[in-house]
A and B are shown apart, each in its own frame.
Chain A
Amino acid sequence: MDFQQHGYRATKPRARASPPSGGPLLFDDTSSGPPPMNRGQDPGVGNLFADPMASAAMMYGSSLANQGKDIVNKEINRFMSVNKLKYFFAVDTRYVMKKLLLLMFPYTHQDWEVRYHRDTPLTPRHDVNAPDLYIPTMAFITYILLAGMALGIQKRFSPEVLGLCASTALVWIIIEVLVMLLSLYLLTVHTDLSTFDLVAYSGYKYVGMILTVLCGLLFGSDGYFAALAWSSCALMFFIVRSLKMKILSSFSADSMGVGTSAKPHFRLYITFALAAFQPIIIYWLTAHLVR
């Protein structure tokens, strides 16, 4: 039995592993890995592989495909760990609703502490204070589409402008994250803020931007400025309260060097600078859309 299974396993690249759930399986999932082969046409198998060269070539091809997939996965894992990224996408509808409400009206929220569970932070599903990447990503894409629509309404649309808008917004996110990382590094602030956390917090402003653009399109210039003021204040409050816990509270950990008294001031400056940057960038990226 064991040897037979081993013999089967040697031919496994030819006969694909079965898909997860049952049902009348006539055709296999043709997308994952080896070239398509149907188990239903078993006499056909003999026909296809009557020529050993063809079968050897197909085996070689499928092994090449697998190797290619492995190489891609390895390269991606060198830059970022997909598991860590998955943490930021473990969201559900309730969390997204609560977070959106929080972004627009953070003044009544009491507890801003990120909750932990045995040294690992809780996933966004279970903790509304945890940062996630679903909202920033969706907000970014919505912003690009909304910009396209706004330009289309004003008859200024062309696909190049859309690409320009998208790349501008992306570059501004990258600049902001890099500046934050640099300043945190230079001031030797030891936080547990990873790059993805910073991207998340930097991407939350797109929610405010979408609201601002919508109000500007619906209610004209007055609506635009009112929405700009509201979302800027809300976002500043949100950023300061969220990052205060993470940046300012960690000074007790590195109490080794002298001059710890100077540290809290710099951290405060960083937090407020980041908060003050938000309205500027919101105005910069949306003003040309509602002119």
Chain B
Amino acid sequence: MAKRISAALTLTNIQPYLLFAMSGFDNTDFFQSSYSVDDQNQGGYGYSDPNDPYSKQYEYSQPMGYSAPPGMMQPQQPYMGQIYQPTPAFTPVSPQSMYGSSFEDEPPLLEELGINFDHIWQKTLTVLHPLKAADGSIMNETDLAGPMVFCLAFGATLLLTGKIQFGYVYGISAIGCLGMYCLLNLMSMTGVSFGCVASVLGYCLLPMITLSSFGVLFSLQGMLGMILTATIIGWCSFSASKIFISALAMDGQQLLVAYPCALLYGVFALISVF
């Protein structure tokens, strides 16, 4: 009885080998199975000891092993397929596509770079509607493409007024992101990653771009400019805090998160006004 159980377990151990044997020289499966074998050798699932008798059993039951416990193998197939291949692992893929990277099998360039325009647009809309409740799950993907574009646009509008201050923009945003990252990690129950913080702060820089483009048209140092600056700072920090609150599930702390964001965007406004 114990022998049968251990035989069945050994069969699951060597199933990747079966895949390897069955589907020909399949690079992906070969890669998988090498890991599993390493693991098994390290884990020492009794593989080394009864090597000889069970290897004989393996050779004997090879065709059986393929088809006999389908119930045991099938739940494992979609598991592997989900991770390594979109299709179930038993479809043998031709070797050329693994090696030579055939052109049709490549993913689209934007997907490979990680730029998803739809999500970027959604996040931009979330920033532009500060009074609408934010969806916390959109911040799971940290893409820095949008924030980079916004930083460049901000620097470009500053350039139009004659201030060549790209260095200040990047420096302040780096220090501000670092500070917010430390603060949010200390204040929230769940931690937050640096990319998420940078992404959110970069997206909420969008209203600041409108401020600096107004600065191109008329000087912001009057009363109207002050009011506009205050409004835009409030808008930016409100959106940023709203997204942080919903993404990190912090309750009763929105104003507390909004205040450091307001300080950071205040420094940006200082650059655009003065």
Stretch from A35-43, A202-210, A213-221, A262-270 at the B interface:
A35-43
Q: Given A7-B32, A15-B83, is A22 in contact with B137 using a C-beta cutoff of 8 Å?
A: yes
Query: B187's contact among A30, A43, A89, A94, by CB below 8 Å, is which?
Result: A89
Is the beta-carbon distance between B101 and A3 smaller than 8 angstroms?
A: no
> In the complex, what's the smallest C-beta–C-beta distance from A82 to chain B, in angstroms?
8
- In the complex, A53 Cα to B272 Cα: how many Å? 49
- Cross-interface CB contact of A8 among B9, B79, B266, B267, cutoff 8 Å: B79
The 8 A CB mask of A20-44 against B (1 = contact, 0 = none) is 1111011111111000101111111
Q: A179 near B: Cβ within 8 Å?
A: no
Q: How large is the interface on B (under 10, 10 to 19, 20 to 34, 35 or more residues)?
A: 35 or more
The A-contacting residues of B in range 222-252, CB under 8 angstroms, are 251-252
Q: Give chain B residues whose Cβ lies under 8 Å from the Cβ of A252.
A: none
Number of interface residues of A (CB under 8 A): 56
Assuming the contacts A19-B140, A31-B142, A90-B187, asked whether A26 and B196 have C-beta atoms less than 8 A apart, the reply is: no
Distance in Å from the Cβ of B250 to the closest Cβ of chain A? Answer: 9
By the criterion CB–CB under 8 Å, are A30 and B252 in contact? no
> In the complex, which of the residues B27, B253, B274 contacts A91, with contact meaning CB atoms closer than 8 Å?
B253
B interface, CB within 8 angstroms of A: 9, 12-13, 16, 27-28, 31-32, 35-36, 38-40, 43, 45, 75-76, 79-80, 83-86, 93, 97-99, 101, 105-107, 111-112, 114, 116, 119, 136-138, 140-143, 183, 186-187, 190, 193-196, 198, 251-256, 259-260, 263, 266-267, 270, 274
Q: A4-B12, A90-B187 are in contact. List 7 more A-B contacts (CB 8 A).
A: A3-B36, A10-B39, A32-B193, A45-B84, A47-B105, A134-B256, A141-B260
Query: 13 A-B residue contacts at CB 8 Å?
Result: A3-B45, A7-B16, A7-B35, A11-B32, A25-B140, A30-B141, A42-B85, A43-B97, A45-B84, A50-B27, A52-B31, A91-B256, A93-B254
